[in-house]
């Protein structure tokens, strides 16, 4: 009996070692499917950044577990555009994002996510409203590992200023630190 248990343990150790050696020497190996099988049905949590008393605050939402960074950002921004749910509204949360705005696409290159919105994303509002919109989007998108900056596109085209009035420059990707400096 002890011999059988020993063989089973040895077999499991060899399989585990083989898995990690293969992963180390074959960087293109994709084990995403294997990881998904291990975690089927588990939910994750993300932060959506809404406004409350003119301050940007995180609100935790439970979401299905997603593995790819671009899908995480896409899901989070799509939820952000829907605005606070009824319970969040009752707690005083609001959004500076226009309900008519649509997320057209998301892509990630290195540490920068490009978010492509419909033209409604930068319509209406003054400087405070536009900065709140930028903060909501940037803070929500950059919570994910490996995503540090956001590049804004409208209808697939890079933009220099966020808002038709040219209030906030977004020609280059921006991160949280860029928006914190704007507050001072």
Q: What is the predicted pLDDT for the residue at 142?
A: 96
Lowest-confidence region among 29-38, 61-70, 154-163:
29-38
Q: For 76-101, what is each residue's pLDDT tens digit?
A: 999 999 999 999 999 999 999 999 99
| Cα distances (Å, whole numbers) of residue 120 to 21, 46, 114 | 50, 25, 17
- The closest of 67, 4, 82 to 37, measured between CA atoms, is 67
- Tell whether the model's pLDDT for residue 23 goes beyond 50: yes
Q: How far apart are CA 154 and CA 117, in angstroms?
A: 5
Residues 24 and 110 in one domain: no
Residues 59 and 118 in one domain: yes
Residues 111 and 21 in one domain: no
Residues 20 and 58 in one domain: no
The answer to whether residue 35 is domain-embedded is: no
Residues 66 and 104 in one domain: yes
- The closest of 135, 137, 82 to 114, measured between CA atoms, is 137
Q: What is the predicted pLDDT for the residue at 141?
A: 96
Band of residue 16 on the pLDDT scale cut at 50, 70, 90: low
Residues 67 and 147 in one domain: yes
Alpha carbon dihedral 65, 68, 72, 74, in 10-degree steps, equals -130
The answer to whether residue 105 is domain-embedded is: yes
Q: For 50-79, what is each residue's pLDDT tens digit?
A: 999 989 999 999 998 888 888 999 999 999
Residues 161 and 121 in one domain: yes
- The closest of 121, 145, 136, 122 to 174, measured between CA atoms, is 136
Lowest-confidence region among 27-36, 38-47, 73-82, 99-108:
27-36
Residues 6 and 75 in one domain: no
Q: What is the mean pLDDT of residues 7-12?
A: 73
The answer to whether residue 39 is domain-embedded is: no
Q: For 102-150, what is each residue's pLDDT tens digit?
A: 999 999 999 999 999 999 998 877 788 888 999 999 999 999 999 999 9
> Which position has the token pair 């975690």?
39
The answer to whether residue 159 is domain-embedded is: yes
Residues 7 and 96 in one domain: no
The answer to whether residue 40 is domain-embedded is: no
Residues 71 and 158 in one domain: yes
Please say whether the beta carbons of 138 and 177 come within 8 A: no
State which H helix or E strand residue 93 sits in: none
Model-wide pTM > 0.85: no
Q: What is the predicted pLDDT for the residue at 26?
A: 52
- With a CB cutoff of 8 Å and minimum separation 6, the contacts of 147 are 69, 73, 108, 111, 112, 113, 141
The answer to whether residue 132 is domain-embedded is: yes
Residues 14 and 96 in one domain: no
Q: How far apart are CA 131 and CA 183, in angstroms?
A: 9
CA dihedral over 163, 166, 167, 172, signed as positive or negative: positive
Domain ranges, residue 82 = 47-183
Q: Which residue has the higher pLDDT, 128 or 29?
A: 128
Please say whether the beta carbons of 117 and 162 come within 8 A: no
Three-class secondary structure of residue 96 per DSSP? coil
Look at the chain and report how many structural domains it folds into.
2
């Amino acid at each position: 009996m002890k011999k059988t248990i020993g063989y089973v343990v040895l077999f499991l150790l060899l399989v585990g070692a083989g898995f990690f050696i293969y992963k180390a020497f074959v960087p293109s190996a994709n084990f995403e499917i294997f990881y998904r099988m291990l975690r089927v049905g588990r939910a994750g949590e993300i932060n959506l950044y809404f406004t409350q008393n003119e301050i940007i605050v995180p609100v935790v939402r439970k979401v299905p577990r997603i593995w790819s960074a671009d899908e995480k950002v896409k899901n989070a921004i799509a939820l952000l555009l829907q605005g606070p749910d009824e319970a969040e509204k009752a707690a005083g949360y609001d959004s500076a994002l226009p309900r008519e705005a649509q997320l057209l696409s998301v892509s990630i290159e290195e540490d920068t996510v490009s978010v492509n919105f419909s033209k409604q994303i930068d319509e209406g509002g003054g400087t405070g409203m536009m900065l709140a919109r930028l903060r909501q989007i940037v803070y929500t998108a950059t919570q994910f590992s490996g995503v540090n900056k956001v590049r804004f596109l409208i209808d697939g085209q890079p933009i220099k200023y966020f808002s038709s009035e040219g209030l906030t420059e977004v020609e280059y990707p921006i991160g949280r630190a860029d928006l914190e400096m704007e507050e001072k």
